[in-house]
Chains A and B, each alone.
Chain A
């Protein structure tokens, strides 16, 4: 069985400051891990994906995430938040060809 826990339901940062969205996962096998973003009333957009290659994964819009097997974590970071980053972020796990399992989401607010 697989599961994902997003440790914060809401994160608020000031524009220009770093972003950290935390995610822990559970998987019986080698996982694939994803971060998706959803802007208000929009669809889902893939930010980045880990599939057992480099543990530091770079995504779009300056986001990156580090896979830490010993901590079962896949936290999402960005050095400097922009107003356009305000959205809902989902951490997602899959193993092999099993369907994706989503976390409950973290809402990121960016304050001017």
Chain B
């Protein structure tokens, strides 16, 4: 199993450009989520999905779109990048068991800089 993969690892964008951060998992997990990490802020939830075709907003959704057409993929789209979106982005996939709670697996992260 490759686990959770993210591409690209690094990206530099100019203000106003658009791009898609890719996330894929091969563990057949129902739940997937996107976080951003900023210094002193921990990880904050952007969007999450509880299954194909179902997405919901997290704590900081503005400026980001998601879709979940398959169980495996959960891309994050920046429609018009802003310097405030400079961050490290983590994708995660997870499954839930009543006796073990949420088992979450994180991708390696994408470092995005918007100039």
Contacts and interface: CB of A to CB of B under 8 A. Distances in A.
Contacts of B31: 97, 99
Interface of B: 31, 33, 35, 40-45, 48, 50, 58, 90, 92, 96, 99-102, 104, 106-109
A44 B101 contact: no
B102 A94 contact: yes
Nearest to A100: B104
14 contacts: A32-B101, A32-B102, A43-B107, A44-B90, A44-B106, A94-B102, A98-B102, A99-B33, A100-B43, A100-B92, A102-B42, A102-B44, A104-B40, A104-B42
Given A32-B101, A51-B99, A102 B33 contact: no
Interface in A92-110: 94, 96-105
B104 A103 contact: no
Contacts, number: 49
Contacts of B108: 43
Contact of B42 (A43, A51, A52, A103): A103
Nearest to B59: A101
Interface of A, secondary structure class, is loop
Nearest to B105: A46
Given A43-B109, A99-B33, A100-B33, 12 more contacts: A32-B102, A43-B90, A44-B43, A44-B90, A51-B101, A94-B101, A97-B50, A99-B45, A101-B45, A102-B42, A102-B43, A105-B42
Given A9-B40, A32-B101, A49-B101, A97 B45 contact: no
B78 to A, nearest CB: 20
Nearest to B47: A99
Given A96-B96, A99-B48, A90 B102 contact: no
A104 B41 contact: yes
Given A9-B40, A43-B106, A99 B58 contact: yes
